[in-house]
Amino acid sequence: MFIIGNFLVAVAKLLRILLTAYMWIIIIRALISWINPNPYNPAIQFLYGATEPVLSAVRGLLPARIRWSTGIDFSPWLVVLIIIFLQNFLVRSLLELGLRLQ
């Protein structure tokens, strides 16, 4: 069973790294949206390409009143909160399960 435990620990650590990296990509994109970046810059294209599918899906879940009346895009905040929840629930649960199986 220690092989399955080691595998779950490795998956949990990899998932934690990926979720943290994606959270920082979301934060950087939100900060860059405050200025008028060059849309042809490869770094900006990467940020928008990596985050827009998730952010547009979350925007679709938000009520129209919140999306249009405030003028503030709350989708990055919501995605960051979801990532923090996943880190505290899913990653921690996988890590605990993996450590118990070792």
What pLDDT, on a 0 to 100 scale, did the predictor assign at position 46? Answer: 96
What pLDDT, on a 0 to 100 scale, did the predictor assign at position 10? Answer: 96
Tokens (6 digits) for 48: 């928008």
CB atoms within 10 A of CB 35: 6
Mean pLDDT by 10 residues, the chain (102 residues): 92 97 97 90 95 94 75 90 96 95 88
**Rg of the chain in Å (alpha carbons):** 17
Reference 76, options 18, 13, 34; nearest CA is: 34
What pLDDT, on a 0 to 100 scale, did the predictor assign at position 67? Answer: 66
| pTM as predicted | 0.88
What pLDDT, on a 0 to 100 scale, did the predictor assign at position 26? Answer: 98
